[in-house]
Every structure is written in C-alpha cells, then in structure tokens.
Amino acid sequence: MTPTESRAAFSLAGIFSLRMLGLFMIYPVFTFYAEHLAGSTPTTVGLALGAYGLTQALLQIPFGFASDRIGRKRMIAIGLLIFAGGSVVAALSTTIYGVIFGRILQGAGAVGSTILALNADLTREESRTKAMATIGLTIGLAFALALVAGPVINAWAGVPGIFWFTAVLAILGIGVLYLVTPTPANIRSHRDTQAVPELFGRVLADRELLRLDFAIFALHAILTASFIALPSMLRTVLGIHQDWQWVVYLPTLAVSVAIMVPAIIVAESKRQMKPVFVASVAVLCIAPGILAFYRDSLVEILVLLTLFFAAFNIMEASLPSLISKVAPADAKGTAMGIYSSSQFFGIFVGGTVGGWAYGQFGTGGVFGFAALVGLIWLVIAAGMPKPRFARSHMVNVGAISDHEARRLAAEIEAVEGVFEAVVVPADQVAYIKFDGRVVEPDVLNRFAPSHSTPAPA
C-alpha cells in the first residue's frame, strides 16, 4: 500500500475498533450492574445487552446509501455522534429501560458499512484486500481487549464509567476521522464493499450465501446469550468477583488464539476449510451443551471456555473469507452487507432470547439455548459443499463501452484459473474470481489500460 493508503487503512481501523471496543466492554459486567436498575428482569437485561444489534442490522445499509449522497465523513461523524449520545443516555440512566434506549441509540450510529466504503474510496483496487484485512484484524483485537478491559474499568468507575468511556472513544474517533484520515478526491459506489439494491434478489436467492448468513447469525446469538450466564457462573460457581474475571478471560483468549492460527492455516493452505468449519461449529454446540448440565470444575470450565473462544475466533476469521469465495464476483459488497446485518440481528436475538431463558430456566437454560442454536447450525453446516478456493481481484479498466466490457470479460474468463469475470462499465472495474494456485494477480493486471501503473480507485 502507498503511504496514503496505509494512513487511510490504519486510521479507519482505529475508528472501527474504538467503536467496537466500547460496545463489547459491557459484556462481562453488565448483568451484575443491571441487577440494581429499576425495572430489571432477566428478559429486559438480555434485551439491553442485545438491543444495539437490532438498530445496527436495520440501519447500516441505509447509512451506506446515504453516504453516497451527502459524503462519507459526514455520515461517519453523524453516526459516531449518535453512538456517543446513546452512550451518555445509558450512562445517566437509572432504569433498565433507559439503558435499553441508550443501547438502541448506540446501534443507530451504524457506520460500519460507511467506514468500509470510505476505505474503498481511498485505496486502489489491488490494495483494498490488505486494507480490509487491517480493519478486520483490529476488530478481533478490540473484542479480546474489551473482555479484559471491561472488568478493569468496572472496578474503577462502574458500568456508567464504561458508557462514559465509550462516549469519549466515539468523540476521539471523530477526531481521527478529520485529523488523520485522508479525504477522498471523489466518492463513488464500490461493488466489492457496498450493497447494490439491484443485486439483493440475486444474493438472497443464493443458498450457500444464506447458509453463511445463518452462520454469522448463530455465532453472535450464541456469544451474546452466553455472556448473560457466563459472568454469573464464574461468580457463583467459582467464586470469582466480577472485577477479577479478566484473569479468566485473558489466558483463555490467549490460548484460543494459539489454537486458531494453525487451524486457519490448515483450512486455507491445505484447503481443509469444511472440516475445520464443521469441527468449530461442533465445539460451539458441545461446549455450551456441557455447561448447561455440568459446571462445577474450574479446569473443565477453563478448557471449555478456551475451546469455545478458539472456535469463535476461527469462525470470525473464516466466515468473511467464505463470503468472498462464494459471492458472485460483482456482488461481494451486497453479500457482505446482508451478512453483517445477519450478524447484528443475531446479537439482538441472542440477548433477548438468552435473557428470557435465564429468567425461566437459569444458567442452564441460557447455555441450553446456545447449544440448541449450535445444533441447528451444525446440521446446516454439515450439508455445505466443499468451498471453492477462489480469490477476488479487481482491475481498473478505465472508460469502456458495454460491448467492450462483454468482450473483455470473455477474454479474462479465457485465462486458465479464472472462475468468473464481470466488467461493470459504470464502475470502470473488472471483478474477477480466480484460483490463486493457477494464476497470479499480476497476470490479471495486464487487462488494465496501463498495468504498469494501475489507476487509483
């Protein structure tokens, strides 16, 4: 990446991760805090935990569309201000309903898709994958840091302090946006990162993409529900105060990453994605299933948590890659938009149903619900075909007519190792899916008008 592209990628990754850090920090401590709020019931506590997912799911794609009209930075700043406002509302609330409203406002600042669109505006086609990977990596790090930082900040300032800290992070994000992030020379639609309305029907009719949409829905439903019961279990069964539960999360997360890395390497380099995928889903079903009935041993809980987080991390890393492999060449952004909405809807359902299950059946009921979702997912995952190990690549082809676009697409598809090529004259881009073991991206770059100096996006 060029220096400007690197600055764009790292600054946008920072904004994204600051926001996600604030959202996840309450997971390990919120259930204890909510016990003292007026109107608190297990169901409303679960709703408060997952409420932001509903507005995220509904608004992130419209935010992206709006940014095409009024500007990326402006929409990101508006979203971060809404997010900060929701954090302040939650911090000041003395009832569970006020916190729910604050969480709904947090979710309404749905800037994720707009951040990715701005990243696309600021990077060349051939650099965009690296920039996206940078953003994806920081999100994973933010989740791990949040589980450790949440209990620490809670010990110092309580959950209201976490919400205030979250509001400050959002304001810092606005500062990064205007002081560090470059401003694009022009704004245009990018099919690799943005949803395209006319492609919704095509994407929603794709059975394999729907399978992956359910996967991310189930993954975050399981995670959110589990954090309704997990902190309480650690306190009541193991006697670990909520302010010190980070001593459990830190080593289990560290070991889970050590398990995840070789698993991902085997899945990708050895082309064993389906076995690794199905095995991870099985863990996400079995681990909460065991905890639903037996949770009296520290060693057992630590082992199960480590395996659970390892499987979660494997899925978080694998699912976007699978979407990229499965989605039509020119519909990756649309597929990712629906996928992300499914993720946030899973958070909402996991929190709401998990809270209800906790009220009806206690800790075992929550883990039982998580295991049931995992079992349904396992049945669906078992039927998935072996994924085609396709890579995505884009070539800026310049101004081109419809006739020339069809001719060029046919010419690209004639290259050995190319699975699919779609040339979109309006975008001036060729979207290509290919087998990286057969053909190198440099070979595909020769289809650019001047492949020695690729045109910027």
Mean pLDDT of 145-167: 93
**Is 104 domain-assigned?**
yes
**Is 453 domain-assigned?**
no
The answer on 419 and 369 residing in a single domain is no
Final residue belonging to a domain, choices 365, 388, 411: 388
Place of tokens 């592209």: 5
Strand order from edge to edge, sheet including 390-396? 390-396, 429-435, 418-424
SS3 for 305-364 is: HHHHHHHHHHHHHHHHHHHHHHCCCCCHHHHHHHHHHHHHHHHHHHHHHHHHHHHHHHHH
In the chain, the number of structural domains is: 3
Whole-Å CA distances, 74 to 68, 118, 197, 207, 420 = 11, 11, 22, 36, 36
Where residue 384 sits, what CATH number does that domain have? 1.20.1250.20
**Is 101 domain-assigned?**
yes
The number of helix segments (H) and strand segments (E) in the chain equals 15, 3
The answer on 107 and 117 residing in a single domain is yes
The answer on 352 and 410 residing in a single domain is no
The answer on 400 and 365 residing in a single domain is no
**129: pLDDT strictly greater than 80:** no
pLDDT of residue 74: 94
**Is 32 domain-assigned?**
yes
pLDDT 10s digits, 347-371: 999 999 999 999 999 999 999 999 9
The answer on 206 and 184 residing in a single domain is no
pLDDT of residue 381: 94
The answer on 39 and 161 residing in a single domain is yes
Model confidence, pTM: 0.91
**Is 14 domain-assigned?**
yes
Confidence of residue 389 (pLDDT cuts 50, 70, 90): confident
Where residue 395 sits, what CATH number does that domain have? 3.30.70.100
**Is 364 domain-assigned?**
yes
Mean pLDDT of 139-158: 89
Whole-angstrom distance, CA of residue 59 vs CA of residue 394: 28
What letter represents residue 384's amino acid?
M
**223: pLDDT strictly greater than 70:** yes
Mean pLDDT of 321-343: 89
The SS3 call for residue 449 is coil
The answer on 188 and 69 residing in a single domain is yes
pLDDT of residue 321: 84
Whole-Å CA distances, 177 to 53, 141, 166, 194 = 24, 20, 17, 20
The answer on 217 and 327 residing in a single domain is yes
pLDDT of residue 454: 39
The answer on 56 and 190 residing in a single domain is yes
Q: Beta partners for 421?
A: 432
pLDDT of residue 455: 36
Task: Count Cα atoms within 13 angstroms, Cβ side, for 396.
Answer: 16
Final residue belonging to a domain, choices 337, 370, 388: 388
The answer on 181 and 219 residing in a single domain is no
pLDDT of residue 117: 86
Mean pLDDT of 30-59: 93
pLDDT of residue 456: 36
**453: pLDDT strictly greater than 50:** no
**267: pLDDT strictly greater than 70:** yes
Which range (178-192, 218-232, 252-266, 274-288) has the least confidence?
178-192
The answer on 320 and 274 residing in a single domain is yes
**Is 452 domain-assigned?**
no
Mean pLDDT of 404-423: 91
Final residue belonging to a domain, choices 135, 170, 194: 194
pLDDT of residue 380: 95
pLDDT of residue 452: 40
Higher-pLDDT residue of 427, 288? 288
**Is 291 domain-assigned?**
yes
Mean pLDDT of 2-26: 88
The answer on 74 and 127 residing in a single domain is yes
Confidence of residue 450 (pLDDT cuts 50, 70, 90): low
Domain residues for the domain of 145 are 1-194
pLDDT of residue 204: 93
**174: pLDDT strictly greater than 90:** yes
- Percent of the residues in the chain that have a pLDDT greater than 70, as a whole number: 98
